[in-house]
Structure 1
Amino acid sequence: MFGFTLIILLLLFILWKLMLVVPMREVNVIERLGKFRAVLQPGFHILIPFFDRVAYRHDTREEVLDVPPQSCISKDNIQIEVDGLVYIKVIDGHKASYGIEDYRLASINLAQTTMRSEIGKLSLSQTFSEREALNESIVREIDIASDPWGIKVLRYEIKNITPSRHVIHTLEKQMEAERSKRAEITTARAHKEAMINLSEGERQYAINISEGEKQKRINEALGTAKEIEIIADAKAQGMNLVSAAIAKPGGDDAMQMQLQEEFIDQMGEVLQNTEVSVVPNDLARIQGMFEGINQVGDSLKGGKA
C-alpha cells in the first residue's frame, strides 16, 4: 500500500513537472540542461521533466519604477534635487533575461544619469518651463540605451524639482520684486490712461463750449440781421406811405405843419431841461417861423370876425 501511494505521488510530481501553464500577463524563459531553449508565451505547455526548467519569469505589463531624488547642477550652476517616475515594459524575454542582470535597477540608474546630463544643459528657469521637452529627451536617451535589454521605455515623468533653500529664498525675493514691478507698471499705466481720459474730457468740453459760443454768435447775428431787415422794411413802408400822403393835395402843407409842431416840442424840451441858454444860429428862419405863426393867428382872428 505504501509503495502504491509512493508511485502515485511520483507520477503526480512528474505530471507537475511535465505541464506548465503560463499566465496571460507573463512570459517564461525555459532552459534545458542549463542552456536557453525557448521563451514560452501565455498558455499551456509540455516540458521534459528534470531536463527543462523555468529559468526566468517576466511580467509583460507596463511597470512603473520610482527614481529616487538626486542632486543635479543646472546650466547656470544652481544645485537642485530632482526625482521622477520611469515607465517600462518587457518586449523581449530573452534579452531581458540574458542581456542584463537586473533591468529594473539598470533602468533607474540610467534614468538618473540621463536626467543629470539633460538638466545640465538647461538653466533653472528652463527646467520648470520646459519640463515636457525634458521628459521627452530623457525617454529618448533611455530608450536608445535600453534597447539591448529587451525593454521599452514608454515615458518618463519628473515629479519634483527642488532647489536649495538659499535658491528658494533668492527666487522668492525675485518674484516679490517682479510682482512689485508689475504693480508699479500697472499703476503707471492706469494713471496715464486716467490723465489721457481727463485731457480728452477737457478737450471735448472746450470744443463743446466753443461750438456753443459759435452757434450763439451766429444766432445773435442772424437775429440782428433779421431785426435790421424788419426795421428797414418798416421804415421803407413808412416812407412810402409818407411819400404817398405828400403826393396827395394838401399833403405838403400837412407835412410842414407836422415838422413845425415837432420842432416846437423838441425845442421846448431842450430849453426846459438845459441850464445853458440855447440860441439857434439860424435866426432868420426862426423869425420867419414866428412871422408865419403870426399870419396863421391873424387869419384865424379874421375868420372869427
Structure 2
Amino acid sequence: MDPFLIFLILLVIVILILVTNVKVVPQAHAYVVERLGAYRVTWDTGLHFLVPFFDRVAKKVSLKEQVIDFPPQPVITKDNVTMQIDTVVYFQITDPKLYAYGVERPLSAIENLSATTLRNIIGELELDHTLTSRDVINAKIRTVLDEATDAWGIKVNRVELKNIIPPREIQESMEKQMKAERERRAQILAAEGEKSSAILVAEGEKESAILRADAIKETKIREAQGEAEAIRLVQQALASGIKMLNEANPTQAVIALKSLETFEKLADGKATKIIIPSQIQSLAGLATSLTELIRNDVPAAEEDKDDKK
C-alpha cells in the first residue's frame, strides 16, 4: 500500500478526532465533563477541547429559568373535602454538578416533592381558608421545595397554584353564591343610579328656582331703577324750570299769576282740605274787589245811557 495514502488516511482520522472533540458551550448553558467515568470539570460558555478517548460530556445543562406545569393532584382539606389542585413551579439550575449527580430524574423528584408538600399544607386548612389563601400556600410550598432542592443544585424561585377544583356540589353552591352576589351588586348599582338621578333632578330644580328668583329680582331692580330714573328726570326738569325762571328774574305779577294757576290745579283735585297761603289769600281778595267794581260799573253805565235817551 502506498505510504502516502496511508499518511493521508491517518491525517483525516486525526482531523476528524480533533474536530469531534472540539466543543462550543452556548450562552446560558454548562457542560459536565467526565474523564474515565469520573467527574472532571464543568465547562462554561466558550470553546473547549476534550481529550480523545478519555473525556466525554456527561450532561448538558441549561442555566435558564424553567417552568414545570404539574397535572392536578387530589388533596383533602381539614374538613374532609377532596379537591384537585395543579401547580406550576419556576426553578433554575444553579450547580450543574449537583444537578447531574444529586438525584436521579430531578424533574420527577420535584413533582413528587411538590405533591407531597401540597397535601401536607392543604391538610391543615379548611376549604374556605384554602380558597382564600393562595399566596400563603404558594409561599409555604416554595420554601419547602427550595430547601429540599438545594442538594440537587436547583433553586425554586416561585410556586403558583394554577387551579383549585372543588367537588361538583361545592362548585354549584359557589356558583349560586356568585350569582346572588352579582344580583346584589346590580341592585346596588341600580339604586345608586336612581339616587344620582334624583340628586341631579333636585339640583336642576334648585338651579331653576334660583334662576327664576334671580330673574324676578333683576326685573324688580330694573323697574325700581326705571322709576327712580323717571322721578329724577321729573325733578331735574322742575329744577331746570325753576332755574330758568330765576335766571329770567320774573316780576311779582308773574309770580302771583303762577301761584293762581297752581291754586287752580289744586282746586280741581279731590282733596277735602286746602291750605291757602296768605299771599294767595290777599290775591284772592284783590280779585274779589276787582270783580265787585266791575259789577258796580256795569249798572252805572247802563243808567247813563238811559238818561241820555
Decide: shared fold, TM above 0.5.
Answer: yes
TM-score, L = length of structure 1:
0.58
Aligned counterparts, 1:140-289, within 5 A? 140-153=143-156, 155-232=158-235, 237=241, 247-248=252-253, 252=256
CA distance in 2, matches of 1:182, 1:258: 86
Do 1:29 and 1:57's aligned partners in 2 also have CA atoms closer than 8 Å? yes
Aligned counterparts, 1:1-305, within 5 A? 26-27=31-32, 37-39=38-40, 41=42, 43-45=49-51, 57-61=58-62, 65-73=68-76, 79-86=82-89, 89=93, 91-93=95-97, 96-97=100-101, 99-119=102-122, 123-127=130-134, 130=135, 134-135=137-138, 137-153=140-156, 155-232=158-235, 237=241, 247-248=252-253, 252=256, 295-296=293-294, 299=297, 302=301
How much has 1:82 moved relative to structure 2? 1.5
Q: What is the identity, as a one-letter code, of the residue corresponding to 2:152? A: W
CA distance in 2, matches of 1:146, 1:206: 77
Do 2:99 and 2:106's aligned partners in 1 also have CA atoms closer than 8 Å? no
TM-score, L = length of structure 2:
0.58
Do 2:42 and 2:96's aligned partners in 1 also have CA atoms closer than 8 Å? no
1:248 partner SS: helix
Sort the Cα spacing of 1:154 and 1:186 in 2 relative to 1 into closer, same or farther, 3 A.
Answer: closer
Unaligned runs of 5+ in 1: 1-11, 267-288
Which residue in 1 is equivalent to 2:274?
none
How much has 1:142 moved relative to structure 2? 1.0
How much has 1:144 moved relative to structure 2? 1.0
Count how many residue pairs are aligned between Structure 1 and Structure 2.
251
2:51 partner SS: strand
CA distance in 2, matches of 1:23, 1:258: 132
Sort the Cα spacing of 1:241 and 1:86 in 2 relative to 1 into closer, same or farther, 3 A.
Answer: closer
Sort the Cα spacing of 1:170 and 1:108 in 2 relative to 1 into closer, same or farther, 3 A.
Answer: same
CA distance in 1, matches of 2:205, 2:120: 64
Unaligned runs of 5+ in 2: 1-12, 44-48, 269-286
Do 1:28 and 1:93's aligned partners in 2 also have CA atoms closer than 8 Å? no
Q: What is the identity, as a one-letter code, of the residue corresponding to 1:248? A: A
Compute the RMSD of aligned alpha carbons.
4.9
Do 1:66 and 1:108's aligned partners in 2 also have CA atoms closer than 8 Å? no
How much has 1:208 moved relative to structure 2? 2.1
Q: What is the identity, as a one-letter code, of the residue corresponding to 2:39? A: A
How much has 1:109 moved relative to structure 2? 0.6
